[in-house]
Amino acid sequence: MVQRNYVIAIIIIVLFVVLAGVSFGIWKLIHMVRNGFSVTSGSSSSSGSSREIVD
């Protein structure tokens, strides 16, 4: 019984870390979209070209 509780605790911790990573990725994606892809596009930083990328 004790080992089973440790396994459940480890699974919950891993799921929490995965959820934190996904939420950070979503935040980063929204942040890039609001800034018009100025970080990733490099040479084409106009708003028209970023809208074509988003589609």
Q: What is the pLDDT of residues 3-47, one digit of tens each?
A: 889 999 999 999 999 999 999 999 999 988 888 765 554 454 444
55 vs 18, residue with greater confidence: 18
Q: For position 33, what pLDDT does the model report?
A: 87
**Confidence (pTM):** 0.53
**Buried/exposed code over 8-28 (b: 16+ C-beta within 10 A; e: otherwise):** eeeeeeeeeeeeeeeeeeeee
Q: For position 35, what pLDDT does the model report?
A: 83
Does the pLDDT value for residue 2 go beyond 90?
Answer: no
Q: For position 4, what pLDDT does the model report?
A: 84
